[in-house]
Structure 1
Amino acid sequence: MANDYEILVIGGGPAGYAGAIRAAQLGKKVLCVEQDKLGGICLNWGCIPTKALLTNAHVVELISNHGPSFGFTGQAGWDFSQMVKRSRDVTTKMNKGIEGLFRKYKVGHQQGTAKVVGPNAVQVDGKTITADSIILATGVHPKALPGAPFDGKAIISSKEAMAPQAQPKSMLIVGAGAIGCEFAYFYNAIGTKVTIVEMLDRLLPIEDEEVSQTLRKSFEKRGMTVLTGSKTAKVEKTDAGVKATIETPKGTQQVEAEVMLVAIGVEGNIQGLWDESRVKIETFKGHIKADPKDGYVTSVPSIYAVGDVIGPPWLAHVAHHEATCCVERLCGVSDRTVDYDNVPGCTYTEPGVASVGLTEKQARESGRPIRIGKFPFIASGRAVAADEPEGFVKLIFDKELGELLGAHIIGANATELIAELVMARKLEATQEEILHAMHPHPTFSEAVMEAAGQGLGESVHL
């Protein structure tokens, strides 16, 4: 007897819905089960709505800080509730977009809580559904700070930070990765007093050190308090919010805030996902173990896992590509895998941060002879015209071969500019080829060309 579906996907986020659509495009009978709204955390409480809020913050900063130079003479003001409403409206619009794509490609969709009860069986709200193959794409949830569980009011995760009932007057942010820094930028821009605490030695610890230092200077110039190399040792709830004891390199200090946002990492959504007595799926550090080289198969041959639930890097674009690679391998049309050495990282602050490949430190530690080209946006006519001269483009090349080893951008439009350099690495473009590829004038993208030229001593504008 045939199974109900050829492929059943659990989870409707960037991995789940992309995998379901790709499978349907390849002619498979597909069902996608999602317990909440389609789009997952990314679309509903992460990537998309945060960018709506960050755009609001940029507009506020543009008018408040740059208005006079642009000839704006009015008094800047904003409505926090409207900012939040706009963010939620964007999410609703994108939800409907995915629903439309499911109808277009005839992807089955069921809302409910799924539990794997056999190698080819899933129970959804009491009903058993069978499938030839099962793909787990259930994503992750925020990790709580030990001794300070989330309460949704004084101690919150990124989800609650998206849509609070009122703007907090002060906020302590624990964790200075992309999520922590993005919320720090947003709330500071609209007038909340922000303190950031990071256990490692700098903001955005995985980024190039020079980029991290530049972002810190920018944040402090904006009035934020940045405590790196610091540990949140104790948290107490107060009538006014929270009081945290922070151990810093200079000693212990107390930080009081109306709200504490914890952004220290994530854990896989695997609790209760399968019946342990019937299915043995191997895990590691709170995530599902899946082999990319073998099409993301788990320890159970008919069950696959993709996206954030299989571990870092926890990025929506990685999840999307993992899902499509998995499905194409499963359907026998391709054996490609994700190139994990060419994954772009983006932080949507102002100035924005984006990177791909090796940092300068990693490149030097590799032992390869390197050449660095760097071009500041203050020398870019387009950046100065936009009154956004902060930051730079930094390119790291193999000195002998001209190979692009790493690219690091901090400044306006950084998250858009990085795609060119991802493509350059994908196509194995050399330093000379990037320099000689004609970039339109005047654009921010010219800084990429100029950075390549600067490394060769051929930058005209520096």
Structure 2
Amino acid sequence: MANDYDIVVIGGGPAGYAGAIRAAQLGKNVLCVERDKLGGICLNWGCIPTKALLSNAHLVEMVKRHGERFGYHGKGEWNFGEMIGRSRGVAGQLNKGIEGLFRKYKVKSKFGVAQVIAPNKVKVGDEVVTADAIVVATGARPRPFPGVEFDAQKVITSKEAMSLPTQPKAMLIIGAGAIGLEFGYFYNAIGTKVTVVEMLDRVLPIEDEEVSDALKKSLVAKGLEIFTSSKTTKLEKTAKGVKAEVETPQGKKTIEADVALVAIGVTGNVEGLFAPEVKVEIDRGHVKVDRENGFVTNVPGIYAVGDVIGPPWLAHVAHHEAVYCVERIAGHSKHSVDYSIIPGCTYTEPGVASVGLTEKAAREAGHEIRIGKFPFAFSGRALAAGESEGFVKLIFGKKYGELLGAHIIGAVATEMISEMVMAMRLEATEEEIVHAMHPHPTFSESIMEAAGQGLGESIHI
């Protein structure tokens, strides 16, 4: 007897909906099960609405910092509630877009909590459906501070941070990764006193050290208080908000705020996902898969993709994992994700974007390297925009000139990095980047100049 579906996808986020649509494009009969809203955390409470808020913050900052230089002499009043409302509106618009795509490609959807009860059976509420293959894409959720549960009011996740009823006067952020710094940048820009505590020795610890240092310097100059190499030893709720005890290199500090945003990592959404008799292997809160062989779990017929399988926890990685997974299932292709060429983006101002090896990682891997660097202070386009902060830093192998890594900090870093991803994908060399004609005046010609600087051929530095 034939199964109800070729593929059942559990989760409708960046991995789930992309995998479901691609499977349908390949002629498969697909069901996508989602417990909340199509688009998942990324679209509804993460990537998209946060960028709407950050665009607001950038506008506020431009008016405050550069308004008079640009000829603006208005009062510059801002409404917190309207900012939040615009962000929610953007998310709602895109949510409807996914519903439309499902109709276009004839992807069926059900809403409810799913449980895999057999290698080919999924229970959704009181209904059981069968499938040839099951793809788990349930995502991840924030990890709480040890001993202190989230309450959505005083100790919050990023979800609550983008929909607070009133603007806090003071905010404590634990964790200086992308999420912590993006919200820190936003709230600081609109007037909240922001304090960030990071256990490691620098902000954005996975980025190139030079970039991390430059971003911290910029954010501190904007008014954020940032403690690195610091440990939050105690966090408690008070009548007025929260209080934290922090060990810093300068000594112990007590930090009080209206609200604490905990951004110290995530854990996979695996609780109750598999019935006891379905022995899918879970490793430290994430589903274990064979990434090189189609993201299959240890149970044949059950696959998993996206944040639920562990780092890197990035929406674009989840998207590609899901697409490649269903293409394997459909017999369409055998390719997989190249985890050595994954762009990372942080949407502060200045923004940070990177791909490939950092300078330190390249040296530790034994590469003889050449570095090309070009500051946006020498870019006519950046000066015209009032966005001359930051630089492009490219790392090349000295012998063959291959691009090993690219690191950008600046106003449009997150848009510029795609060129570097493509360059690495196509194995572009230093000389090829220099001789690829870039339009003038643009931010992106700084990439050409950085490559030229490494060869001693840059015209503008």
TM-score bucket (shorter structure) = over 0.9
SS in 1 for 2:74: coil
* Alignment map for 1:33-432 (pairs within 5 Å): 33-276=33-276, 278-432=277-431
Q: CA–CA distance in 1 between the matches of 2:323 and 2:453?
A: 39
SS in 2 for 1:91: helix
Matched, 1:28 2:28: yes
Paired AA for residue 334 in structure 1: S
Q: Which deviations, in whole Å up to 9, do the C-alpha atoms of 1:186-232 show, x marking residues without a partner?
A: 00000000000000000000000000000010011001100000010
Q: CA–CA distance in 2 between the matches of 1:110 and 1:126?
A: 12
Q: CA–CA distance in 2 between the matches of 1:255 and 1:451?
A: 42
Residue 142 (structure 1) shift: 0.4
Q: Which deviations, in whole Å up to 9, do the C-alpha atoms of 1:345-382 show, x marking residues without a partner?
A: 00000000000000000011111110000000000000
Paired AA for residue 453 in structure 1: G
Q: CA–CA distance in 1 between the matches of 2:380 and 2:293?
A: 49
Once superposed, what is the RMSD of the aligned Cα atoms? 0.5
For these two proteins, the number of residue pairs brought into alignment is 461
Q: Which deviations, in whole Å up to 9, do the C-alpha atoms of 1:66-103 show, x marking residues without a partner?
A: 10000001111111000000000001100000000000
Q: CA–CA distance in 2 between the matches of 1:217 and 1:252?
A: 22
Q: CA–CA distance in 1 between the matches of 2:408 and 2:55?
A: 19
SS in 2 for 1:353: strand
Residue 290 (structure 1) shift: 0.7
Task: Please name the residue that 1:435 is paired with.
Answer: 434
Structure 2's unaligned 5+ residue stretches are none
Structure 1's unaligned 5+ residue stretches are none
Identity of aligned residues (%): 68
Q: CA–CA distance in 2 between the matches of 1:232 and 1:139?
A: 27
SS in 1 for 2:252: strand
Q: CA–CA distance in 2 between the matches of 1:147 and 1:297?
A: 35
Q: CA–CA distance in 2 between the matches of 1:275 and 1:220?
A: 49
Paired AA for residue 187 in structure 2: Y
Q: CA–CA distance in 2 between the matches of 1:185 and 1:401?
A: 40
Residue 283 (structure 1) shift: 1.1
Q: Which deviations, in whole Å up to 9, do the C-alpha atoms of 1:92-131 show, x marking residues without a partner?
A: 1000000000000000011111000001000000111100
Q: Which deviations, in whole Å up to 9, do the C-alpha atoms of 1:127-166 show, x marking residues without a partner?
A: 1110010000000000000022111111001010010000
Task: Please name the residue that 2:2 is paired with.
Answer: 2
SS in 2 for 1:151: coil
Residue 236 (structure 1) shift: 2.0
Q: Which deviations, in whole Å up to 9, do the C-alpha atoms of 1:398-455 show, x marking residues without a partner?
A: 0001000000000010000000000000000000000000000000001000000000
More moved, 442-451 vs 228-237: 228-237
Residue 301 (structure 1) shift: 0.6
Q: Segments of 4+ in structure 1 off by > 2 A?
A: none
Q: CA–CA distance in 2 between the matches of 1:189 and 1:374?
A: 29
SS in 2 for 1:314: coil
More moved, 31-40 vs 142-151: 142-151
Q: CA–CA distance in 2 between the matches of 1:124 and 1:33?
A: 8
SS in 2 for 1:171: strand
Q: CA–CA distance in 1 between the matches of 2:130 and 2:221?
A: 58
With normalisation by structure 2, the TM-score equals: 1.00
Paired AA for residue 449 in structure 1: M
Q: CA–CA distance in 2 between the matches of 1:253 and 1:275?
A: 47
Paired AA for residue 38 in structure 2: L
